[in-house]
Amino acid sequence: MPLFYGTEIRSRLLLGTARYSSPAVLAEAVRRSRTDVVTVSLRRETAGGRQGGAFFELIRELGVRVLPNTAGCHSVAEAVLTAKMARDVFETDWIKLEVIGHQDTLQPDVFGLVEGARILTGEGFEVFPYTTDDLVVAERLLEAGCKVLMPWCAPIGSAMGPQNMQGLRAMRAEFPDVPLIVDAGIGRPSHATTVMELGYDAVLLNTAVAGAADPAAMAEAFAMAIDAGYAAHGAGMLEPRDMAVPSTPVIGKAVFS
C-alpha cells in the first residue's frame, strides 16, 4: 500500500469532494470508491457558512483522512495563509499545495510552488505539490522538502487524459523511490489505468466522478481501473513490438503433403 509521509493508506485512489449534487451523492461515491483520503478546499467550504460545518461533519462520519488543498490560490502568500488556516481547522499537517499561474489552463506557477513548498515544509507541513511533469521543477520541490510529487496529466477538469506520456514515464524513471500521484485531467477509468501501468503510486481525481451521470458507479469503476493498472505494472507487461509474433508454436505443427 502507498506510504505518504510515513502514513500507509489502503487505497490508491484519492478523491476530491467538490461539485457533487448533494452530500448523499458524495457520501455514496466515497464509500464505493473505497478511498480513505479525500481532498477538501477550505476556501469553498468555509464560504458556505452553516453548510460548511455540515460538510465537515459529513467527512468525519465517513471516517476518511482529509487532505486540505489551497485550490484557487494565485500567490504564494495566499496559499501559505490558506494552508495555515486549514491546519487549524482539520488538525493535520498534510496540505495539497496549489499555486495557480495561468487562468485559462490552471497550470501551476512552478516558481511560486517551489517557494511556497519551502516555506510550508519549514513550518512542519507535509506538502503534496500540484505540479507539472517537468523534471527540474520536481527536483527543486524535493530539495524544498517535499516527499511526494503530484504531476498533472492534463489541465484540471479537462478530462483529456494523459497528454505527455513520455514526460510521465520519465518522471517515474527519474524518481523511482518518490511517491508519485497523478493529479488533474483524468476523465475516464482507462486514463487512470494507463498512468498506473507506468508505475505511479496513486491517482487523485474529482471532476470525472462528480460530473458523471452516476458518480457512485463511476467512483467504483475508477477504483477497479486503478487496481487493474497497478496490478498490470507489477505483473510485467509486454512491450510493443514492430512485427507480428505467433502465439501458437510453429515447431511440431502438422505437415500436410
Is 184 one of the annotated binding-site residues?
yes
- Asked if residue 205 lies in contact with residue 15, where contact means CB atoms within 8 angstroms, the answer is yes
Q: Does the annotation place 164 within a ligand binding site?
A: no
Which are the contacts of 149, defined by CB distance < 8 A and separation ≥ 6? 129, 131, 138, 141, 142, 171, 175, 178, 179, 180, 181
* Maximum Cα interatomic distance, the chain, rounded to a whole number of Å: 86
Q: Is 207 labeled as ligand-binding?
A: yes
Q: Is 244 helix (H, G, I), strand (E, B) or coil?
A: coil
| Paired sense of beta strands 37-41 and 13-16, if any | parallel
* Residues annotated as part of the active site: 96
Q: SS3 for 257?
A: coil
Output the CA–CA distances (angstroms, integers) from residue 27 to 66, 67, 155, in the order listed: 14, 16, 26
Instruction: Mark residue 231 as left, alpha or beta (left: phi above 0; alpha: psi -120 to 50; beta: remaining).
Output: alpha
Contact predicate 229/199, CB 8 Å = no
**Measured CA distances, 69 to 10, 45, 79, 171, 199 (Å):** 21, 11, 9, 23, 25
Instruction: Answer yes or no: is 206 a known binding residue.
Output: yes
Q: Is 185 marked within a binding site?
A: yes
The C-alpha cell that represents 112 in the structure block: 511560486
Q: Which residues are annotated as a binding site?
A: 157, 184-185, 206-207
